[in-house]
A and B are shown apart, each in its own frame.
Chain A
Amino acid sequence: MKAEEAFPEQSLAPWVPVVGLEIHAQISSNSKLFSGSQVQFAAPPNSLVSFFDASLPGTLPVLNRRCVEAAVMTGLALNCSINKKSLFDRKHYFYADLPAGYQITQQRVPIAVNGSLSYSLCIDNKMSQMVTKTVRIKQIQLEQDSGKSLHDDTRSQTLIDLNRAGVGLMEVVMEPDMCCGEEAAAAVRELQLILQTLGSSQAVMAEGQLRVDANVSVHHPGEPYGVRTEVKNINSIRFLAKAVDYEIQRQIEELENGGTILNETRAFDSKLGCTVPMRDKEGKQDYRFMPEPNLPPLILYDAKSLPANMNHQQVVNIDWIHKRLPDLPSVKRAKLVEQYGILPEHSFTLLNEDGLAEFFENVVKQTQMKPKKVIGWIIKDLLSHLKQHSLTVKESPVSSFLLADLLNLLVKKDISSTAAKQVLAELWKGEGKTPLEIVKEKKLGLIQDQKELEQICQAVIDRQENEVMAIKSGNQKVLNKLIGLVQRETQGRSNAVLVRQILEKKLSE
């Protein structure tokens, strides 16, 4: 019997969730999009505000070339077509942290359009089952950030900090090609890695350099998309997945209970793990868009259109930027897999942490150990330790040089892998000792003396009559226990392969 026949019509039609994203990435630049003020996180309030940022009458915007280049770079990395001519518009609304009463953005003709982003995610949380998906990028537009409002409820005051006002943003609009929180999170994570690789944004969500709004709706297959809600206030990738999944579930339940979905803005409450309606900004806003009259059209050139007599400092050349794009994460991963023979999922792990791939490659360069084995030490030992202590790769007390040194001792069979782990634990203390010094100090070197090892093995055999009986009667598995006991006796300073040989030989005598 087919599954469909078993259930009544109503619950048989599953819901199809649809997720689109609008992502604001703060451009990594020394100065703001249209003014010379510095950009810096957590500077004293209102210390980075030019006359233009405070919208003093008579001031005019002057476009920052660096921001344009960052947007072009990002557009190219996301397979967009770059518009050779784009325009700026004013978007009007009154808000205390928007001093001019309008934001300069690119509503009509943005700088980049029609791109795509490929991202991978694992199925059922299994690293070994990864699938690659693609989301279309509708457009990337340049726009100004707003200031920050700080509400002091006890004194019923609102304080305004304009340090962020006018900082350059790239708004990346992703088409609704995703269907769950996991996909949205994976897409944003990949975008974050790309931005960081390009250097076009530092994209640290906790510092507000990457802000994600999710548009969520659900519908039945074959029917038009449902009414969508916009979820804001998402400040980590983990919360993004949670917020989207919560919202999908909420909508399904609402609809199944006969309710309707309102086209509204909701905020994600990370403490409660749910979305709540946001105080509506007095109904629907009409932003009264208008061309920005103080900025001429933004013209970009390529090798073909570049005028011969133009000062190269004055123009942005798309081809020039294209040639200088760094390897993107997907390419880097493929190269790692190909060059070192590591598993694809390991390449993801390597790129997921800033600097980890470089760390790995440095270790590989300095050791005779095979990359396939090195990766285990990197992921199982180094990374888990860093995570335990909330350290970044760059903050690791064990340098790639020290780790390579240690692994070399292992390769040369100077120490056992058990001992190596002990040495590593010592190295974490960061006391400046070399692995060899630790080995000597703690006497962790493998027992090189065959006779000494044989004596220890004999002593173990003598003590474990039952086990010896078992082995002799054919239960070879018990041999491992004896090997373990020898290891314990030698405090990990014995070569397991050698010990097995000695024990086997002795027991067959």
Chain B
Amino acid sequence: MLRASLRQVSAALRDGHVTPTELCQRCLSLIKSTKFLNAYITVAEESALKQAEESEERYRRGQPLGVLDGIPIAVKDNFNTAGIETTCASNMLKGYISPYNATVVQKLLDQGAVLLGKTNLDEFAMGSGSTDGVFGPVRNPWSYSRQYKEKSVPKSHSEDEESNWVITGGSSGGSAAAVSSFTCFAALGSDTGGSTRNPAAHCGVVGLKPTYGLISRHGLIPLVNSMDVPGILTRCVDDAAVVLGSLAGHDPKDSTTIQDNFKPFELPNLTDVSKLSIGIPKEYHAPGLSSEILALWSKAADLFKNAGAKVVEVSLPHTRYSIVCYHVLCTAEVASNMARFDGLEYGHRSDMNKSTESMYAATRREGFNDVVRGRILSGNYFLLKQNYENYFVKAQKVRRLIANDFVKVFGSGVDILLTPTTLSDAAPYTEFIKEDNRTRSAQDDILTQAANMAGLPAINVPTALSERGLPVGLQFIGRSFQEKQLLTVAKWFEKQVKFPMIQLEEVKRHDHGVFQHQKSASFS
């Protein structure tokens, strides 16, 4: 039951094969038995069971609120949730309980979804590994899959699991791991430079970054306001469309959302792709792209070609400047957005009370990790009067060039762009942390970043397993607000590639004492 898709389980609820409470309980117990994944920061057991009960009552009366009623979901811990801690995986907000729900959270609750808990991330979503949060790294469920274990030959049995487990990618790694390990049916992430698509690719789930402005950011604790978008993580493309339909549309509390109402849609089963034009941007053949991903990418292109679609090579010449441009724009906004954390109104406050200034300084030193502080420092440097023109203004101009590249390509008749999502499959944690956060983010965002610069919708679709038995995903990028077309194509592709399901018959014991020894019972 837990392996089912959202739409399948919704049907099961409607038909009475399972009750919301049973479903919720099973998810909660799986969360417990997979605690070593560290996917959740907070599990809201009590409120989840209460919500499930209320949902059950609605089903009993024959008046469920819709497809989402009774569906267990998880939310990245940078969305505000009234009554449940919102930490951003930072000391700064440890213990912070927001008085309000983010618009997206409210919408999910209003439609009967059951909120299981808040998922782990890099501190303030700054990272690409889900390794840099104050609650520790998230482990990729595929580290414990039969597929991975069979392919990756352990050096010596005693060290293998502790040294071989791979990262989820990030920064929405907790959400991706939660969906991938079947502890929930859908999860919210956020996507500023690839933070939803990257972990989706590494965890073998669908990760949708909608068009900027389609979904409200109200209540999402910002990283880069002009690029942040709430992301959707699900088991399949159809589920992503369902969740999108329940979240999209104008929000009076977010002035950057579209004015028009959004009409939810169901995805057609595409049978004919001959009218499609798929663009293959040559710049995405980036340095460091693994040969197996390159091969998969071209196989996917062939798949479209063989089915009759037009597949053309296109050029996005400015995409190569995306990362350096992002570095300036992101750090500048971070410097600004983080200014509010001064220890006065909420969050951590240092005991240092010699003066207001020394309290500010100590609070921020104690509250933020090195990554956050580093970005604040560079951001403030770029915003200094003498640097503003040379850095910030220039970066904005480059951003416009990057966005214009897409406009040109889509203007030339291309419908959808097909690219890899990541350069390689997930790295083992021990490998990953050899490089610092900044280097990692620069490498890992390279293929996903530009869509945020241009505000375009993009989706990761799990495609195949790598030689090491780890998921690899490909990315589709669509035209602004053309989610339906994007998802329709993604769904067709999903059907063709038949991505294998993760095989987690049991969850191995961990003998190194860090995590509780627990046995999973309910992966059936």
Q: Give the interface of A toward B (CB within 8 A).
A: 51, 54-63, 90, 92, 94, 96, 99-102, 158, 160, 286, 288-290, 293-296
Contact = CB atoms under 8 A, between A and B. Distances in A.
B255 A96 contact: no
A88 to B, nearest CB: 10
Specify the main secondary structure of chain A where it touches its partner: loop
A289 B383 contact: yes
Contacts of A286: 384-385
29 contacts: A51-B100, A56-B100, A56-B346, A57-B80, A57-B93, A58-B98, A58-B218, A60-B218, A60-B253, A60-B254, A60-B255, A63-B255, A92-B336, A92-B383, A94-B342, A99-B340, A99-B344, A99-B345, A101-B336, A286-B384, A288-B335, A288-B336, A288-B380, A288-B385, A288-B388, A289-B383, A293-B225, A293-B226, A294-B255
A294 B256 contact: yes
Nearest to A160: B344
Nearest to B392: A290
A57 to B, nearest CB: 4
A391 B342 CA distance: 46
What 3 pairs across the A-B complex have the smallest Cβ distances?
A: A101-B339, A288-B383, A293-B225
Nearest to A52: B253
A101 B255 contact: no
Nearest to B251: A60
Contact of A55 (B93, B99, B256, B345): B345
Contact of B339 (A59, A61, A102): A102
B342 A101 contact: yes
Given A56-B80, A92-B336, A158-B356, 17 more contacts: A56-B346, A57-B80, A57-B93, A57-B98, A58-B218, A58-B220, A58-B221, A60-B217, A90-B336, A94-B339, A94-B342, A96-B356, A99-B345, A100-B340, A289-B383, A294-B254, A295-B256
Q: Which residue, B102, B224, B333, has most C-beta atoms of chain A within 10 A? A: B333
Contacts of B93: 57
A195 to B, nearest CB: 27
Contact of A290 (B88, B256, B383): B383
Interface in B352-395: 356-357, 360, 380, 383-385, 388, 392
Interface in B176-224: 217-222, 224
Given A289-B388, A296-B255, A58 B102 contact: yes
Interface of B: 79-80, 86, 88, 93, 98-100, 102, 217-222, 224-226, 252-256, 332-333, 335-336, 338-342, 344-346, 356-357, 360, 380, 383-385, 388, 392
A293 to B, nearest CB: 4
A48 to B, nearest CB: 15
Of residues B88, B98, B345, which shows the largest number of chain A Cβ atoms within 10 Å of its Cβ? B345
Contacts of A295: 255-256
B405 to A, nearest CB: 22
Contacts of A101: 336, 338-340, 342
Contacts of A96: 342, 344, 356
A155 to B, nearest CB: 12
A56 B342 CA distance: 12
Contacts of B102: 58
Contacts of B99: 51, 56
Which of A94, A286, A293 counts the most chain B CB atoms within 10 A? A293
Nearest to A49: B345
Contact of B98 (A56, A158, A289): A56
A62 B217 CA distance: 13
B373 to A, nearest CB: 15
Contacts of B342: 94, 96, 101
Contact of A58 (B222, B341, B385): B222
A102 B332 CA distance: 13
Contacts of A160: 344
B368 to A, nearest CB: 13
Contacts of B252: 62
B340 A55 contact: yes
Contacts of A61: 255
Contacts of A102: 336, 339
Contacts of B253: 60, 62
A290 B332 contact: yes
Nearest to A294: B225
Contacts of A55: 340, 345
A61 B218 CA distance: 10
A94 B221 contact: no
Contact of B336 (A58, A99, A290): A290
Which of the listed residues B99, B226, B338, B344 has the most CB atoms from chain A within 10 Å of its own CB? B344
The residue in A56, A62, A158, A296 that gathers the most chain B C-beta atoms within 10 A of its C-beta is A56
Nearest to B252: A62
Contact of B255 (A51, A62, A99, A290): A62
Nearest to B226: A293
Contacts of B225: 293-294
B233 to A, nearest CB: 20
Nearest to B385: A286
A51 B218 CA distance: 12
A208 B6 CA distance: 57
A100 B344 CA distance: 10
A134 to B, nearest CB: 33
A58 B93 CA distance: 13
A90 B79 CA distance: 23
- Residue of B217, B220, B339, B344 ringed by the most chain A CB atoms within 10 A: B339
Contacts of B256: 60, 293-296
A57 B221 contact: yes
A290 B382 CA distance: 10
Contacts of B380: 288
Contacts of A54: 345-346
A294 to B, nearest CB: 5
B268 to A, nearest CB: 31
B352 to A, nearest CB: 15
Contacts of B255: 60-63, 294-296
Nearest to B386: A286
A319 B9 CA distance: 57
Contacts of B86: 57
B333 A290 contact: yes
B345 A56 contact: yes
A357 B374 CA distance: 63
A160 B221 CA distance: 24
A343 to B, nearest CB: 52
B362 to A, nearest CB: 13
A166 to B, nearest CB: 13
Contacts of A62: 252-253, 255
B350 to A, nearest CB: 14
A342 B352 CA distance: 68
Nearest to A94: B360
Nearest to A63: B255
Nearest to A99: B345
Contacts of A288: 335-336, 380, 383-385, 388
A289 B386 CA distance: 11
Contacts of A63: 255
Contacts of B220: 58
A293 B332 CA distance: 11
A293 B79 CA distance: 19
A101 B80 CA distance: 20
A55 B342 CA distance: 11
A293 B333 contact: yes
A96 B99 CA distance: 22
A191 B277 CA distance: 63
Contacts of A293: 224-226, 256, 333
A96 B219 CA distance: 23
Contacts of B346: 54, 56-57
